[in-house]
Amino acid sequence: MNEARPPLELTIPVRAWDFLAGGDGAARVRQVLQQVGFPPAVIRRVAIATYEAEMNIVIHSQGGELKAQITPAVITIIARDTGPGIPDIDLAMQEGYSTAPREIQEMGFGAGMGLPNIRRCADELAIDSMPGKGTVIKIVIYNR
Amino acid sequence: MGYFHSVRLEEDKCKGCTNCIKHCPTEAIRVREGKARIIQERCIDCGECIRICPNHAKIAVGDGLEALDAYRYRVALPAPAFVSQFAGRADLEHILGALLTLGFDAVYEVALAAEVVARETRRYLDNYRGKKPLISPACPAVVGLIQVRFPSLVEQILPLVTPMDLAARLARREGVRATGLPPEAIGTFFLSPCPAKITAGRQPQEGMAGPDGVIPLAAIYGDIRQRLATAPSCPSRAGASGYGWGHSGGENASIGGRRLLEVDGIHHVIEVLTQIETGDFEDIDYIEAQACPGGCVGGALMVRNPYLARLELRQLTRELPAGRVDLPDPGGSLAMAPVQPRPALLLDADLATALEKMRRLEATQALLPGLDCGSCGSPNCRALAEDIVRGEAQDTDCVFVLRDRVRVLAEEVVELARKLPPSMAQPERGSDNETAGNSGASEFTGPGRGESPGPGG
């Protein structure tokens, strides 16, 4: 019967270069999961992955949105942006590889840990990127 | 449930305004039937509502001096910040001495116990290899905040005794030695700057028994002030570092070394805890977090301006040695049981049901204006949506939703009033795109209802 219920869906716009609001989306997802009562370990993984995906949009794109689809069994985060895309995904997945400009790195971001962190937290990760168009990252985390 | 709270409402004084509901860090207050009701499971006794209430309708209930009568030997445990309220009027020895004129037989400074706790904290940090940062357990409002709003951080609360509880243990032991009386004949009374400590002193806890009573500072402020001039002298045994715990930064200063961060004011504490949850601050070893502005000197039951009190406390203890070299033997382990979460904000115990409620909550919130005005008695639109989903409120509690319903209804009434029986109808009415039948009326109300979900636009 629970399977028949549609997932709870949250859509959160993310603005490029907005470092004051950057992180608010992940915080909102976390708050919703907490109030619903997911286990802290699951929430932590979702929150970290969502935060990294959100900051990727803030730092590297021209803006986009986070979409969270939540069911009792699985949490899916889809981060979609318009921007330069990722020319070499394998390279981008390497720890320490970053294309963030210097001023961003000086702010403490862009250490090349974003995607590797997401991979560590996610049960499934799919990256679909069109150079020059944008990137869609799909993160799946199971509640088990 | 069975949870004692010191913060209460004085109904007569409450005017039903919305100041307190909007400042409560756990959204624990609702205005119902013109009075601000506290949701007990959510309240952390931080005292923000006491501070903000323009009518002084929120109060903290603690023990009075009559509670001393139950014990044969009574020890006062003044909080480090306590003396700041009288500094400038008398020296430290006479401020402590004034307590002896109120019915206490002895004074045990919590500042002294704080020095023992600081030393133990230093040792704990030296050997700690777990998740960072650790968070100080000293402020019970912050501990409550973590239990209710940041349950994933409970494991980062330093599992050590607080200075208040340790002072109670040391004072009881000293009382037994001094009098030969059994421990139960010794009464220990914490003199509290805040409601959270009153509540903390009353909670049954594993490990270490706390004080036998907690007396709010405001309740004895006048008595002490009056007696300062004629008070006997009572020597201080604590050092300046112990007294430093009375203001923000003092706890960290007495622990020393390392990367220690201090934050004060509960809304600033919330910001820091939110960031710790996100994984920030991992390079910080320890966080001294205090709910009140300026730390305990800014306690909701303190009389003086917090910033003046901080200055006075520093000046009063300037002449003291930095710390005691021969600290008292703590008389047993200082370890405390881990703090447990208080999931008071959970929508439902069953996850699938909670998720369904969250979906309704999100949908309901989207229909509310987003002004967060508080007129409905809930602190903001999201909280009202939550109250609706919990079955404790309805959407027409929102004055804007209600107004819109009234408008739709009024338009229907006007439309109905235009209708004439066929025998009286004018032939030209049918010409301006409106049919004179019943079907025309229902078409008209359609768009009116359709507009109603978007009052925020």
| B24-41 residue pLDDT tens | 999 999 999 999 999 999
The model's confidence at residue B150, banded by pLDDT at 50, 70 and 90, is: very high
Task: Taking residues B87-115, report their average pLDDT.
Answer: 96
Q: Which of B191, B203, B289, B285 is nearest to B248 (CA)?
A: B289
CB within 8 Å: B362 and A8: yes
Strand-pairing partners, residue B135, are B157, B287
**In angstroms, rounded to a whole number, what is the distance separating the alpha carbons of residues B195 and B45?**
6
What percent of chain B is modeled with pLDDT above 70?
Answer: 91
E strands of A31-73, at which residues?
Answer: 64-70
Distance (Å, whole) CA B110 – CA B157: 21
Same domain, B111 and B136: yes
pLDDT band at A126 (very low <50, low <70, confident <90, very high): very high
Which of B26, B148, B152, B389 to mutate to probe the A interface, most A CBs <10 Å?
Answer: B152
**Cβ-defined contact of A36 to B362 (cutoff 8 Å):** no
Q: Is A144 on the interface with B (CB under 8 A)?
A: no
Residue B456 lies in a domain: no
CB contact under 8 A, A37 and B343: yes
Rg (CA), chain B: 29
pLDDT at site B451: 45
What are the Cα distances from residue B229, in Å, to B95, B223, B266?
Answer: 9, 12, 37
Q: Which residues of A touch B151 (CB under 8 A)?
A: 34, 40
Which of B318, B319, B298 lies closest to B308, judged by CA? Answer: B298
| Non-local CB neighbours of B153 within 8 Å, separated by 6+ positions | B135, B146, B273, B276, B277
Helix (H, G, I), strand (E, B) or coil at B387: helix
**Do the Cβ atoms of B334 and B363 come closer than 8 Å?**
no
Nearest to B351 among A30, A48, A72 (CB): A72
Q: List the 12-31 stretch of A: residues with Cβ below 8 A of B.
A: 23, 26-27, 30
Contact status of A4 with chain B (Cβ, < 8 Å): no
Give me the pLDDT at residue B422, please. Answer: 82
Task: Supply the ipTM of this predicted assembly.
Answer: 0.91
Within this chain, do residues B186 and B169 fall inside the same structural domain, yes or no?
A: yes
In a domain, B209, yes or no: yes
Q: Which residues contact B323 (CB under 8 A, 6 or more apart)?
A: B115, B239, B240, B241, B242, B254
- Residue A3 is predicted with a pLDDT of 53
Q: Are B379 and B22 in contact (CB under 8 A)?
A: yes
Mean pLDDT throughout A21-42? 93
Structural domain count, chain B: 3
Based on the domain organization, do B83 and B34 belong to the same domain? no
Say yes or no: A107 contacts chain B, CB-CB below 8 A.
no
What local confidence, expressed as pLDDT, does residue A36 receive?
96
Contact yes or no for B151 and A40 at CB 8 A: yes
B302/A3: higher pLDDT: B302
B127 falls within a domain: yes
Q: Report the gap between the CA of A47 and the closest CA in chain B (Å).
A: 7
Assess whether pLDDT exceeds 50 at residue B448: no
pLDDT in tens, B390-409: 999 999 999 999 999 999 99
CA distance B427 to B421: 12
When pLDDT is cut at 50, 70 and 90, the band that residue A97 belongs to is confident
Which of B120-124, B181-185, B377-381, B422-426 shows the lowest per-residue confidence on average (mean pLDDT)? Answer: B422-426
Residue B341, in any domain of the structure? no
**Positive or negative torsion for Cα B22, B23, B27, B29:** negative
Q: State how far the Cα of B39 lies from the Cα of B266, in Å rounded to an integer.
A: 19
Let me know whether B55 and B170 are in one domain.
no
Cα nearest neighbour of B151 on chain A: A40
Chain A residue with minimal CA distance to B277? A44
CATH of the domain at B114: 3.40.50
B80 and B145 share one domain: yes
Residue B325 has a pLDDT of 79
Substitution target in B339, B351, B353 with the highest count of A β-carbons within 10 Å is B351
- At B303-355, the pLDDT tens digits run 999 999 999 999 999 889 888 878 999 988 999 989 999 989 999 999 999 99
Kindly determine whether residue B356 and residue A5, on different chains, have CB atoms separated by under 8 Å. yes
pLDDT of residue A4: 67
pLDDT reported for residue B248: 97
Chain B interface includes A44 (CB < 8 A): yes
Residue B409 lies in a domain: yes
Contact A48 B278 (CB under 8 A): yes
Percentage of residues in chain B having pLDDT higher than 90: 83
The whole-angstrom separation of Cα B131 and Cα B154 is 11
For A62-75, write each residue's pLDDT tens digit. Answer: 999 999 999 999 99
pLDDT at B202: 83
* Domain extent for B438: 351-451
Q: B37 and B30 in contact (C-beta within 8 Å)? A: yes
Q: Which helix (H) or strand (E) holds B395?
A: none
Q: Please provide the DSSP assignment of B57-111 as one string.
A: -EEE----GGGGGG-SEEEEEE-GGGGGGTBTTB-HHHHHHHHHTTT-SEE--HH
- A3's tokens: 């399977």
Any residues with CB less than 8 A from the CB of B65 and at least 6 apart, and which? B102, B103, B215, B219, B220, B223
A37 touches chain B (CB under 8 A): yes
Is residue B173 in a domain?
yes
Same domain membership, residue B393 and residue B245: no
For residue A70, give the nearest of B151, B347, B355 by CB distance: B355
Strand partners, B419: none
Shortest Cα distance, chain A CAs vs residue B141, angstroms: 20
Q: What pLDDT, on a 0 to 100 scale, did the predictor assign at position B239? A: 94
Check CB contact under 8 Å for A37 and B346. yes
For residue A81, what are the CA distances in angstroms to A55, A65, A87, B33, B169? Answer: 11, 6, 15, 48, 60
Pairing of β B73-78 and β B186-192: parallel
In this structure, the answer to whether residues B268 and B402 fall within a common structural domain is no
B360: closest chain A residue by CA:
A8
Compute the distance between CA of residue B371 and CA of residue B419 in angstroms, rounded to an integer. 38
The mean predicted confidence, pLDDT, of chain B is 91
- The crossing angle, in degrees rounded to 10, of helices B381-389 and B351-367 is 130
Same-domain check for residues B230 and B266:
yes
* Domain termination site, one of B262, B296, B316: B316
Written as one letter, the residue type at A60 is H
Write down all domains in chain A, each with its CATH number in brackets. 7-142 (3.30.565.10)
Burial A47-69 (b: 16+ CB within 10 A, else e): bbbbbbbbbbbbbbbebbbbbbb
| Contacts A38 to B, Cβ<8 Å | 351
Please tell me the distance in Å from A44's CA to the nearest CA on chain B: 8
Residue contact A36–B278, C-beta within 8 A: no
State yes or no: pLDDT of B457 exceeds 50: no
Q: Residue B338 and residue B157: Cα distance in Å, rounded?
A: 8
Whether the per-residue pLDDT at A102 is higher than 90: the answer is: no
- Give the pLDDT confidence score for residue B64 in this predicted structure: 95
Tell me whether residue B325 is in a domain. no
Check residue B440 and give its pLDDT: 42
> What pLDDT was estimated at residue B250?
97
With cut-offs at 50, 70 and 90, classify the pLDDT of residue B428. low
Which residue in this structure is represented by tokens 């002004």? Answer: B371
Band (B368; pLDDT cuts 50, 70, 90): very high
Do B48 and B69 belong together in one domain?
no
Of B351, B356, B359, the CB nearest to A38: B351
Q: What is the DSSP letter of A97?
A: -
Place of tokens 């992180």: A23
Burial B132-150 (b: 16+ CB within 10 A, else e): bbbbbbbbbbbbbbbbbbb
Select from B68, B245, B72 the least CA-distant residue to B162.
B245
Q: What's the confidence (pLDDT) of residue B443? A: 43
Percent of chain A surpassing pLDDT 70: 97
Question: Are residues B269 and B397 both part of a single domain?
Answer: no
B46-100 tens-digit pLDDT:
999 999 999 999 999 999 999 999 999 999 999 999 999 999 899 999 999 999 9
Say if the Cβ atoms of A40 and B343 lie within 8 Å: no
CATH of the domain at B40: 3.30.70.20
- B151, B351, B358: residue with CB nearest A32: B358
Suggest the residue from A2, A8, A143 to mutate for an interface test with chain B (most B CBs closer than 10 A): A8
Q: Which of A35, A54, A69, A71 to mutate to test the interface with B (most CBs of B within 10 A)?
A: A35
Residue of B nearest to A34 (CA): B346
Let me know if residue B77 belongs to a domain: yes
Which residues on chain A are in Cβ contact (under 8 Å) with B349? 37
Q: How far is B359 from chain A (nearest CA, A)?
A: 5
pLDDT value for B205: 67
Of B151, B278, B347, the CB nearest to A36: B347
Largest distance between two CA atoms of chain A: 52
Same domain? For B164 and B264 the reply is: yes
Average pLDDT over residues A18-27: 92
Q: What is the mean pLDDT of residues B448-452?
A: 44
Residue showing tokens 């699951």: A42
**Does residue B212 surpass a pLDDT of 70?**
yes
pLDDT band at B279 (very low <50, low <70, confident <90, very high): confident
User: Are B277 and B393 contained in the same domain?
Assistant: no
pLDDT tens digits for range B156-172:
999 999 999 999 999 99
Residues 57-86 of A with CB under 8 A from B: 70-72
Which of A26, A36, A44 is the closest to B351 by Cβ?
A: A36
pLDDT over 90 (residue B206): no
